[in-house]
């Protein structure tokens, strides 16, 4: 028996020509919701549950396509399948209708001929709307034009969508709606799904690479007696059962190094961190970072590992080693250059600077380049802010910048021969820091002195100074071997690979102000 072609235009054309369902209709949204509720009740009256507990799907859409890649037009296979997904288009009328459903693997067309639908499927069809979840069983066929389809004999409603979904043609463009209703954004904006596919592939790639290098994935506390491992202002909360204040972690670093002390020589964590600071296109109060530590390594091993993780992730997530940012093309092909911070600052400032210089002289350099500073900042912090505001924004292609002032690196080992500089690197791409790492400071006495310096800064009002963690000092006194540590900003990395400019575009549910009542 020949298979009839759908009445009217193709699926793509129907979607393109459709008005935005969320704003169309004579009665607006309230009327459409009321109509859909009435249809739901009509399904109940048929003895069907519009929200059943399960459905036995035999094939995904991709599996059906994969098993029948080259069927001739107007063919019947004799194979019966059960598919399930969300209805993204319905067209036709009378004795023959067509619908397209989409599952997580892609779309599949349903052919719905009234004379082949078993009761009560044809009544269910009459109550169907775009956005509904359905299960459909029938024979795999092709139409006269070769469209692979399921000739449905049984149609079940799996979940009635009470709110209409905007068409894929109009999408959801308002950023506030996209971030607040991410589920809707993902339903209708293909580019959003692409970005988050990049995120998930990037995370899977880095996890896989680390495991292949014999790193163990571990979990460390999010609630901590005091936040450590970074220079940042923490969120503070109250543990009523213990009658103590706790902080949300700003970094997992100190706990991970304690695990190295305990004998786990290679550890990593993909950690959700929290910093009670500003929000902009590059910063979020809640963000994701990857930290990894390996015994017997130094800052050079950290750069090697970082380069390997990021270049592999780019290939795995994108299939290429270049990205675009605005009108610029950024080449991620290794190897990446390694440059000393002070040398690069000399070039961009036109003069030498060093943490050993007098504070007054460094302030004059900052003034000359319109770099703001606080009066209590020491020479190391002034050198760093010159780097951060003058040098970093000029960098496009990947560069490892090596050697940072100890004053802003309280957990890093100082450079041999220069106690004011630390064996630390930052990876900068497209004017942004994407990774940070160093040879870990493992001298407990020197670490105690650094913490005491930070404590004095905190007492003077510095909210981002590093607290003295005596439990960490005690751990160091048991012996931390030479250790390399790295931290990678996952969100910024996904921004780079996803080719977007706002961190909110790569976080599924970013922090927002509460909705108005």
The domain limits of the chain are: 11-170, 192-221+248-336+397-505
Q: Is 43 helix (H, G, I), strand (E, B) or coil?
A: helix
Specify the range with the lowest mean pLDDT, choosing from 8-22, 336-350, 424-438. 8-22
* pLDDT, mean of residues 239-247: 94
Tell me the CATH class for 11-170: mainly beta
pLDDT, position 515: 83
pTM to 2 decimals?
0.89
pLDDT at 91 over 80: yes
CA 248/CA 237 separation, integer angstroms = 8
pLDDT at 166 over 90: no
pLDDT, position 468: 80
pLDDT, position 231: 78
| Residue 470: how many other CB atoms lie within 10 Å | 11
The model's pLDDT over 477-499, given as tens digits with 9 standing for 90+, comes to 999 999 999 999 999 999 999 99
pLDDT, position 517: 63
Establish whether the linkage from the previous residue to 120 is cis, with ω within 30° of 0.
Answer: yes
Beta bridge partners of 399: 428
pLDDT, position 11: 32
| Residue 221: how many other CB atoms lie within 10 Å | 11
Q: What percent of the chain has pLDDT over 70?
A: 92
pLDDT, position 174: 82
Q: Which residue from 40, 35, 45 is spatially nearest to 120, judged by alpha carbons?
A: 45
Of residues 220 and 2, more confidently modeled? 220
pLDDT, position 232: 83
The model's pLDDT over 327-371, given as tens digits with 9 standing for 90+, comes to 999 999 999 999 999 999 999 999 999 999 999 999 999 999 999
Beta bridge partners of 159: 133
For residue 2, with 0-12 CB atoms within 10 Å meaning exposed, 13-18 middle and 19 or more buried, which class applies? exposed
pLDDT at 117 over 50: yes
**pLDDT bucket at 176, cuts 50 / 70 / 90:** confident
pLDDT, position 170: 60
Could you tell me which residues come within 8 angstroms of residue 374 by beta carbon, excluding any fewer than 6 positions away? none
CATH code of 192-221+248-336+397-505, in short, is 3.30.930.10
pLDDT, position 20: 41
């Amino acid at each position: 028996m020949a298979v009839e072609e759908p009445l009217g235009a193709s699926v793509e054309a129907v979607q393109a020509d459709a008005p935005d369902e969320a704003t169309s209709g004579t009665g607006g949204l309230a009327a459409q919701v009321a109509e859909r509720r009435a249809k739901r009740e009509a399904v109940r009256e048929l003895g069907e549950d519009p929200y059943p507990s399960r459905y036995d799907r035999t094939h995904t859409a991709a599996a059906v396509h994969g098993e029948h890649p080259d069927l001739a037009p107007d063919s019947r296979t004799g194979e019966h399948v059960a598919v399930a997904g969300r209805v993204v288009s319905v067209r036709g009328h009378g004795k023959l209708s067509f619908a397209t459903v989409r599952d997580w693997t892609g779309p599949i067309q349903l052919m719905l001929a009234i004379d082949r639908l078993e009761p009560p499927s044809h009544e269910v069809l009459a109550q169907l709307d775009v956005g509904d979840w359905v299960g459909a069983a029938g024979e795999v066929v092709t139409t006269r034009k070769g469209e692979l389809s399921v000739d449905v004999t049984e149609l079940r409603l799996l979940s009635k969508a009470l709110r209409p979904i905007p068409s894929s043609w109009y999408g959801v463009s308002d950023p506030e709606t996209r971030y607040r209703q991410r589920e809707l954004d993902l339903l209708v904006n293909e580019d959003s799904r692409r970005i988050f596919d990049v995120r998930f592939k990037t995370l899977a790639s880095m996890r896989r690479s680390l495991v292949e290098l014999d790193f163990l994935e571990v979990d460390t506390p999010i609630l901590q007696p005091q936040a450590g491992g970074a220079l940042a202002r923490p969120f503070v909360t109250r543990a009523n059962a213990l009658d103590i204040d706790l902080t949300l972690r700003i970094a997992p670093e100190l706990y991970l190094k304690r695990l190295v002390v305990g004998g786990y020589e290679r550890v990593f964590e993909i950690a959700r961190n929290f910093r009670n600071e500003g929000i902009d296109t590059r910063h979020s109060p809640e963000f994701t970072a990857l930290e990894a530590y390996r015994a017997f390594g130094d800052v050079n091993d950290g750069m090697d590992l970082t380069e390997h993780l990021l270049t592999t992730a780019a290939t795995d997530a994108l299939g290429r080693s270049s990205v675009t940012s605005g009108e610029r093309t950024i080449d991620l092909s290794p190897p990446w250059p390694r440059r000393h911070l002070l040398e690069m600052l000399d070039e961009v400032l036109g003069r030498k600077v060093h943490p050993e210089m007098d504070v007054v002289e460094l302030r004059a350099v900052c003034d000359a380049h319109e770099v703001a500073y606080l009066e209590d900042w020491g020479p190391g912090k002034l050198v760093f802010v010159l780097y951060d505001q003058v040098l970093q924004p000029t960098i496009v292609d990947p560069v490892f910048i090596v050697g940072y002032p100890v004053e802003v690196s309280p957990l890093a080992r100082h450079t041999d021969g220069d106690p004011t500089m630390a064996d630390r690197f930052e990876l900068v791409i497209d004017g942004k820091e994407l990774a940070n790492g160093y040879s870990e400071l493992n001298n407990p006495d020197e670490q105690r002195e650094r913490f005491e310096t930070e404590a004095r800064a905190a007492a003077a009002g510095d909210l981002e100074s590093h607290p003295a963690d005596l439990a960490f000092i005690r751990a160091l006194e048991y012996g931390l071997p030479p250790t390399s540590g790295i931290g990678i900003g996952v969100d910024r990395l996904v921004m780079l690979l996803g080719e977007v400019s706002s961190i909110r575009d790569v976080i599924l549910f970013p922090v927002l102000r509460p909705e108005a009542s």
